[in-house]
Amino acid sequence: ARTGIPEAVLAETKSVAALSRILSETLERGERMLFTRMTAAQFAALNAAAPGALDYDPVSRTAILGSAPANGLESPICIVSAGTSDAPVALEAARTLAFSGWQAPVIQDVGVAGLWRLMEKIAVIRSHSVIIAVAGMEGALFSVLGGLVPGLVIAVPTSVGYGVSRDGHVALHSALASCAPGIVAVNIDNGFGAACAAMKALRIQG
C-alpha cells in the first residue's frame, strides 16, 4: 500500500456479514487483503460464500486474499520466539511479512530457561537487522536478546501463561522495563503490528 504498510482487517470483532461485505468489495476492486485474528468459524462461513478465495492459516489465524509472492530478497528481519505456545503470534508476524514479500526465518523455542538453545542460534539471529522477539510468561527473552544483538529488537509479548502471567501483562512490562536499552514494544499478541513496524524500519536511510 501507499505507506508501505499492508491493508489489513481485524476480523475477530466483526460480524460475518460485515466481513463478507469487505471481502466482496475487495474482490470487486481486484485488490489484495490481509485478514488477522480470524476465527475458524468466520473462515468457514466466508469460504462457503466464496470458496477458495481466501488462503487461511489456522495457527496464525490469518487469511490472505490474492497472491503473496516472495520478493526474492534475503530477509533482514527474523522472528524469534520463546516457546511452542507462542507460535500463533510469531506466525501472524511471519504471514504479515509474507503478504509484503518477505520470507523471514522463524526461530522457535529459544526461551531463556534453556539459555544454551538460544546460544546455539545467536549467530544467525545477530546477522539480522531487525529482530521480532515473541515471548509470553515472564518475557526474559527480550532483555537477554537486547543485551546480545546489535539490531533493533521489537518485542511482542504474548498472552500465554497462567496465574500472574495470564493475559500477557508481565511479558509486556518486562519488555518496557528492560535494562537493555533500545528495545521497543507493541501490544500483547500483536504480531501484525510488529511486522508493520519492522517494515517501516527497513525503509529508513540512516
Ligand X SMILES: Nc1ncnc2c1ncn2[C@@H]1O[C@H](COP(=O)(O)O)[C@@H](O)[C@H]1O
Count of residues binding ligand X (CB under 6 A)? Answer: 14
Interaction of residue 123 with ligand X, rule CB under 6 A:
no
Residue 84 gets which letter from DSSP? G
Residue listed under C-alpha cell 538460544: 118
Residue with Cβ nearer ligand X (127 or 200):
200
- By rule CB under 5 A, what string of x and - marks binding of each residue 114-143 to Mg ion? ---------------------x-x------
- Phi/psi for 37 (5° steps) reads 50, 45
For position 2 contacting ligand X by CB under 6 A, the verdict is no
Cα–Cα distance between 145 and 51 in angstroms, integer? Answer: 43
Angle CA(148)–CA(59)–CA(96) in degrees, nearest 5? 60
Rg (CA), the chain: 17
Q: Among 153, 142, 158, which residue's Cα sits nearest to residue 84?
A: 158
- Is residue 84 part of the contact set for ligand X (CB under 6 A)? yes
d(CA 171, CA 130): 20
94 sits near Mg ion (criterion: CB under 5 A) = no
- Examine residue 10 and tell whether it contacts ligand X (CB under 6 A): yes
* Residue 99 C-beta: closest distance to ligand X, Å: 11
How many other CB atoms are found less than 10 A from the CB of residue 26? 18
Cβ 81 to a second copy, closest distance in Å? 12
Q: Which is nearer to a second copy, 54 or 143 (CB)?
A: 143
Kindly state whether residue 37 participates in binding ligand X, applying the rule CB under 6 A: yes
Could you list the residues that contact ligand X (CB under 6 A)? 8-10, 36-37, 83-85, 113, 179, 181, 190, 192-193
